[in-house]
């Protein structure tokens, strides 16, 4: 196939692919809309974070291009909302003047790609093509495996224990949207009080926390014959606490930063196997 034929094939492939641009700079929104529309994409725009979240839920875009710095609701807050709604959605943050800390926070929230504003338009369009193609492949794989039906409401109760407020809140909202009853605790002592009030079916427990860490909490629960299941969250496989945690019989250990889809699969498996 010649170059012209390849271009036509690509345009046919992208014609029905929806993109969303969220940026408080109307001129920048219009520029990206024109540029990406020329490549066969259907592009919608929003000039505020709240409008962007609303449009994301309506349109379910394959790729969202998101300005980092916006008034009222910035890019990280929007990304957080997107991830609780769809952990697989492609999101590119355009972070003009971003600090390394802000970029790290975006990575922690599983941004697909992170670019500084002012980069070559060709580079940005290339990234959109790559992410859109990957999304199509994943959708095709899910379809071949029998589809991806929405999760049914569940009465199972989960307690998430993590001193990282952003990580805890993200996981709680993600699981709540999938029908689980979810509570959160900032450390082991608070978790212990909550477990005494109402024991959860599953404890998702960070290892490294102030006051009472994950291992200390598990030891207390073992003495009290806690009957629920446990998933450990660990930032490092060589964490010295990890060996002690394994000895206390958790059902799974997940790496941080957390892959939400992998975490959901682990949770579903642990719940199914409660009676095994």
pTM (2 d.p.): 0.66
Helix, coil or strand: residue 188: helix
Cβ–Cβ < 8 Å for 74, 102: no
pLDDT tens-place values along the chain, 276 residues long: 333 443 444 444 444 689 999 999 999 999 999 999 999 999 999 999 999 999 999 999 999 999 999 998 999 999 999 998 888 899 999 987 778 888 888 888 889 989 876 778 888 898 999 898 888 777 777 666 555 444 444 568 999 999 998 889 899 988 987 888 999 999 999 999 999 989 999 999 999 998 899 999 999 999 998 889 999 998 766 567 888 888 898 999 998 888 888 898 899 888 877 654
Phi, psi of 145 (to 5 degrees): -95, 10
| 209 neighbors 162 (Cβ within 8 angstroms) | yes
Say how far apart CA 260 and CA 276 lie, in whole Å. 25
Domains within the chain, CATH numbers bracketed: 3-144 (3.40.50.2300), 157-275 (3.40.50.2300)
């Amino acid at each position: 196939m010649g170059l012209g034929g390849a271009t036509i094939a690509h345009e046919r492939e992208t014609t029905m692919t929806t993109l969303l641009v969220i940026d408080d700079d109307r001129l920048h929104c219009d520029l990206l809309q024109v540029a990406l529309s020329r490549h066969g994409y259907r592009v919608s725009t929003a000039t505020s974070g709240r409008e962007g979240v609303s449009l994301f839920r309506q349109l379910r875009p394959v790729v969202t291009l998101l300005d980092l710095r916006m008034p009222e609701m910035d890019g990280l807050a929007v990304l957080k909302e997107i991830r609780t709604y769809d952990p697989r959605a492609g999101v590119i943050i355009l972070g003009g003047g971003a600090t390394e800390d802000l970029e790290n926070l975006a990575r922690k929230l599983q941004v697909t790609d992170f670019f500084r504003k002012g980069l070559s338009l060709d580079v940005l369009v290339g990234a959109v093509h790559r992410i859109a193609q990957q999304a199509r492949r994943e959708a095709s794989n899910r379809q071949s495996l029998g589809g991806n039906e929405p999760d049914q409401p569940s009465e199972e109760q989960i307690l998430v224990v993590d001193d990282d407020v952003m990580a805890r809140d993200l996981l709680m909202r993600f699981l709540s949207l999938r029908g689980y009853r979810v509570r959160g605790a900032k450390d082991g002592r608070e978790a212990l009080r909550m477990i005494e009030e109402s024991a959860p079916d599953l404890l998702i427990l960070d290892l490294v926390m102030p006051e009472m860490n994950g291992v200390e909490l598990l030891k207390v629960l073992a003495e009290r014959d806690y009957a629920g299941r446990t998933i450990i969250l660990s930032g490092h496989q060589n964490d010295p606490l990890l060996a002690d945690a394994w000895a206390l019989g958790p059902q799974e250990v997940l790496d941080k930063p957390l892959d939400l889809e992998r975490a959901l699969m682990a949770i579903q498996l642990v719940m199914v196997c409660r009676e095994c």
